Chains A and B, each alone.
Chain A
Amino acid sequence: MNPKLTRRRFIKGVIASGAAATSTTIWYAANGAAKPPGAVERLIRINVNGQARSVDVASQETLASTLRYKLGLTGTKLGCNRGECGACTVLVNDVPSYACSVLTHSVKNMRVETVEGLESANGDLHPVQQAFVDELSPQCGYCTPGQVMSAVGLLRSNPNPTREEARQGMAGNICRCGSYDSYLNGVMRAAQIG
């Protein structure tokens, strides 16, 4: 180790670079038509809601950014953009994943499902969506798309959860309105009707 690089300085350096990484995510998040100087985008294919989509993606671009700002799928919300809240939850190959913390490159050729892809062709709501309506699960609704996707993922892997299993399964999604109980009612109802 560089003798001048004291432990304290080293820690400060790590913290600083961590902060820079967070900012980079934000820089790219609303990366519209123009390409920022120095950013190299590559054309990749991802399968979103059953459709193959070709999209130019920067190497450090998150899936949430691609979905929201390049594919116009704004149902996926950003509550924190740092893997804390679950508002951005989508399914990647059936697994609930924080889209703000997944690089789009890493889901190349995988199946991505967002809240926009759940309704049937004739416009019927998915059983989870219908159950959330019936139970009035959402309050402000900002966490709702993420809660819906976590519930869909949970019920695919465990179609008949106990309430406690549902609680554990949904635990990665924060709801600041505190509508947890109403969401759990929705999950349990969806399990019945699904």
Chain B
Amino acid sequence: MAYMHIGKDFVPPDVPGKVTGRIKYAEDYARDGMVYARLLTSPVPHGRVVDIDASEALAMDGVFGILTADDVYPDGEPQSPGLKVLTNEPTLMGEPILAVAAIDEKTAENAMAAISLTIERLPFVLDPLDSLAEGGSDAYNGGNTFIFRQGFAEEKWTADQVESFKSGNEPTAEAQQSWEYGDLEAGFAAADFVHETTFSTAGYPHMSMEPRSAMAYWENGKCYLHGTSQSLSAIAEPMAAIVGVPLEDFVFINEATGGGFGQRARAGSIPSMAIPAKLSQKINRPVMMRVSREEEFTIGGARQGLQGWIKVGFKSDGTMSAMDMYCISDNGGKGGGGDANSAAAGVSALYQTEAMRFRNTSIGTNTGHRGAQRGPGENQIMAIVAPIMDKAAEELGVDRLEIRKLNAAQNGDVSGPRNTPFTSAYMPEALEQGAAQFDWEGKKGRSRQTNGSKVRGLGIGQGYHNAGRSGMDGIIRLMPSGRLQIHNGVGNLGTYSYASTSRAAAEVLKMEWENCDVVTGRTDRHLPITSPQDGSNSIFTNTRTCYGAAQDLLGKMKEIAAMDLGGVAADYEIDGSRIYQIADSNVGMTYAEVAQRGMELGGKFTGEAELPEELNTLTALSVSRLAGSALMGIYHDPRHNNNPPGFTVTFLEIELDTETGKFDILDLVTIAECGTVVHPQGLANQLRGGAVWGIGLSALERHLYDPQNGLPASSGFWQSKIPTYLDTPAEIGTGWVDLPDPENPVGARGIGEPSMGAVSAALNAAISDALGGHLFDSAPVTTDMIINHIAGVSEEAKPLAQNNFRG
């Protein structure tokens, strides 16, 4: 289909501000009379605050007040996992206990030094298996796990059960969570190749580039919060609740966010933004709270680590007939996430496993705030499964590309425990396109070729994430000037989807982009609700709402034209910012004229009557504040059917030096299968960025903690080993299948997360290939593991170790 905007590049409105430094992040704002907050954080990985004596600090010149957990939670802290704003029961080293506001940061730090904090040390634990073993320490007060609707609980295995698991055997304890489909026993009975192993994938910090600094002030009873979030309108209501202010008196300001990657999508994962808001309320001055890199490490989120056991069966032709998976998920110090479940569902989606069983038990450790991180679960497990696919192909004599095509998801396929159909799926096409672009046929003979100490390895990887939601709202306004204002509540974390999804409205109205404004950046610009911007959903979710709002506006425009110029709405067409009669194009009105006429008519035309009944609270509030200001398109999006997948495929070649264990990525091609492409440059950026993240997952990143004291050793960029220019290829090939999805009006689905999984999978497969098919069953596979393997030193000195070195 020929589009005016969809599939075309454009300059998103915030890009010039990014290259000139003019766009403002939370820490770039200042207010008259602003004072500074610093955080006093937990000096122990697990403890209980016994006493805080701040009398000396509060008497110091330039100190305005402190905020403690008792101020935030006068009725006691919620007894549930999850980050608190401040806490008296820290379960992380570095967790914020109190904040001090002072004239400047030095005074605040001096005041903190004068505070007497008495804290009771409690036992801590770093590795879930240490906690799971009988007699092991618990990360939380009241247990080592949290059971929904029941609260904290203790989950213990016998020492023998833990040792047996560490030795590579299927866990025997009953799991907390499980699902199953198909006939597992029959699946394994039909298999000609069965692979069974334990595996581990490391947790590691998000390390968004912008620390989560925030500034807040109150004016006329309203709270203004400059913060950082990957969502915008979705944050407003829950954040207002955390601050303790009615939604109508809360303004969230967030024009740009320096990265999110899953950990800034929801208010519950960035509650620290409430600290300056509450302090400001208490001392009646604007408060800036700058967050340091170390603090960002502690509260800024981390991927869940998985320690698991997996058994996979393949039929003689390469069909994956059965998979059995049992995971121990590292829930860290503050709750956790659903990585293991997503990992299993991801395998089902990508490999169309005929029968499957999933079991999981989640255990806390005093390490990091675990939660969603780019492709949580799917991206870890693909790095484990891809080399197993190659092992099966080798054993069964099937080509490595063919075994993936054979198991690939296509239109009409289903996945997961509920057999959910895909909205559409073109994985075979993606594999073929990637193979052609990479020249798989030409290159595959280079597998395991040696040249001196160097050896080549090739890998194919696949990625998946459920990538689309619905049920949100849209608001657009046609102004009396003829300009279109597209209100968009999507956050701005660098994907540009706040702008690219807005173009669906311009598309419907056939408007030049120059005549459109995206209204965003702060909630008092009256934004519609959207889903939290996670789960690769924005492209799918918000093209639906923007498209729908534009359809509503178009209907109203035609109604007005028919009312004034005769005939019925169906007699009218649009083009060139004019609405005209199809029979006689001279009879018509400009967009400016129709907007002015709409404003005269009022009522439903200007958002004052006949609103969609199901509008969300925030949208309804925004509409009420915009009512009468323009001719408005207002839309509530109904639910879509089925599962809109984001699929990716990566082909990759490395050269590994057997003397050093280091490797170079010689070629990397990654292909998206995400429906119609909305914004090619933005998509290419997601594919490249995802590739860098995939390299980090498979080769570099991990948490390191000192086992004696529980001190984090990877609290900086360098220690957590974030990939740099020199760890990544100088060029990353990209491409896309570009076939429309029927559940989206412009055919689009999301891609941000699977862009990483295919690369992590391909890289682990390539390393395995270079080493003659050796399976590390681990992510990352670090240089020391590679060199130990080559040297014949077992890398499994500490099998399944989490939050520390494995070898």
Q: Give the B-binding residues of A (Cβ under 8 A).
A: 23-24, 26-34, 36-37, 39, 68, 73-82, 84-85, 87, 114-116, 118-119, 125, 128-129, 132-133, 135-145, 148, 163-164, 167-168, 170-171, 173-182, 184
Nearest residue in A to B689 (C-beta to C-beta)?
Answer: A178
| A27–B109 CB distance below 8 A | yes
A164 to B288, CA, bound (A): 42
Nearest residue in A to B258 (C-beta to C-beta)?
Answer: A142
A92 to B105, CA, bound (A): 27
Residues in B neighbouring A23, C-beta threshold 8 A: 109
- Residues 1-41 of B, flagged 1 when their CB comes within 8 A of A and 0 if not, give 00000000101101111111111110110000010101000
| B494–A39 CB distance below 8 A | no
| B288–A30 CB distance below 8 A | yes
Within 8 Å of chain A (Cβ to Cβ): is B724?
A: yes
In the complex, which residues 726-760 of chain B have their Cβ closer than 8 Å to any Cβ of chain A?
Answer: 726, 728-732
In the complex, which residues 512-569 of chain B have their Cβ closer than 8 Å to any Cβ of chain A?
Answer: none
Residues in B neighbouring A168, C-beta threshold 8 A: 725-726
Q: Given A74-B28, A140-B256, A164-B730, are A80 and B19 also a contact pair (CB < 8 Å)?
A: no
| B20–A115 CB distance below 8 A | yes
Nearest residue in A to B686 (C-beta to C-beta)?
Answer: A139
Residues in B neighbouring A85, C-beta threshold 8 A: 209, 717
Residues in A neighbouring B493, C-beta threshold 8 A: 139-140
Binds A, one of B163-171, B606-614, B648-656, B677-685: B677-685
| B259–A119 CB distance below 8 A | no
| A34–B722 CB distance below 8 A | no
Q: Give the A-binding residues of B (Cβ under 8 A).
A: 9, 11-12, 14-25, 27-28, 34, 36, 38, 61-62, 103-107, 109-110, 207-211, 256-261, 288, 290, 292-293, 493-496, 681-682, 684-685, 688-693, 716-718, 722-726, 728-732
| B9–A136 CB distance below 8 A | yes
Nearest residue in B to A119 (C-beta to C-beta)?
Answer: B20
Residues in B neighbouring A84, C-beta threshold 8 A: 293, 716-718
Nearest residue in A to B112 (C-beta to C-beta)?
Answer: A23
Residues in A neighbouring B257, C-beta threshold 8 A: 140
A170 to B726, CA, bound (A): 9
Residue among A114, A136, A143 making CB contact with B681, cutoff 8 Å: A136
> Shortest CB–CB separation between residue B460 and chain A, in angstroms?
21
| B20–A118 CB distance below 8 A | yes
A100 to B256, CA, bound (A): 22
Residues in B neighbouring A167, C-beta threshold 8 A: 725-726, 730
Residues in A neighbouring B684, C-beta threshold 8 A: 136, 182
| A176–B685 CB distance below 8 A | no
Q: Given A82-B293, A84-B718, are A138 and B731 also a contact pair (CB < 8 Å)?
A: no
Q: Given A81-B292, A138-B18, A177-B259, are A182 and B688 also a contact pair (CB < 8 Å)?
A: yes
Q: Given A26-B290, A28-B105, A136-B681, are A180 and B209 also a contact pair (CB < 8 Å)?
A: no
Nearest residue in B to A128 (C-beta to C-beta)?
Answer: B19
Q: A28-B106, A144-B18, A180-B692 are in contact. List 16 more A-B contacts (CB 8 A).
A: A26-B105, A74-B21, A79-B209, A82-B293, A116-B22, A125-B19, A140-B259, A140-B494, A141-B18, A141-B23, A141-B256, A142-B259, A145-B19, A175-B209, A176-B722, A184-B730
| B9–A133 CB distance below 8 A | no
Residues in A neighbouring B20, C-beta threshold 8 A: 75, 115-116, 118-119, 125, 129
| A75–B21 CB distance below 8 A | yes
| A133–B11 CB distance below 8 A | yes
Residues in A neighbouring B208, C-beta threshold 8 A: 140, 142, 176
A133 to B14, CA, bound (A): 10
Residues in B neighbouring A31, C-beta threshold 8 A: 104-106
A171 to B495, CA, bound (A): 23
A168 to B208, CA, bound (A): 23
A98 to B319, CA, bound (A): 54
> Shortest CB–CB separation between residue B11 and chain A, in angstroms?
6
| B689–A32 CB distance below 8 A | no
| B688–A133 CB distance below 8 A | no
| B682–A138 CB distance below 8 A | no
Listed by A's residue number, 23 A-B pairs whose Cβ atoms lie within 8 Å are A26-B109, A28-B106, A29-B290, A30-B104, A30-B105, A36-B104, A74-B21, A74-B24, A74-B28, A78-B27, A79-B211, A80-B716, A82-B716, A85-B717, A115-B19, A133-B11, A140-B259, A141-B18, A142-B259, A143-B258, A176-B261, A177-B494, A178-B690
> Shortest CB–CB separation between residue A165 and chain B, in angstroms?
10
> Shortest CB–CB separation between residue A16 and chain B, in angstroms?
13
| A142–B292 CB distance below 8 A | no
Residues in A neighbouring B14, C-beta threshold 8 A: 141
Nearest residue in A to B35 (C-beta to C-beta)?
Answer: A32
Q: Of residues A77, A179, A180, which shows the largest number of chain B Cβ atoms within 10 Å of its Cβ?
A: A180
Residue among B209, B293, B681, B728 making CB contact with A177, cutoff 8 Å: B209
A137 to B728, CA, bound (A): 16
Residues in B neighbouring A180, C-beta threshold 8 A: 688, 692, 724-725, 728
Nearest residue in A to B723 (C-beta to C-beta)?
Answer: A178
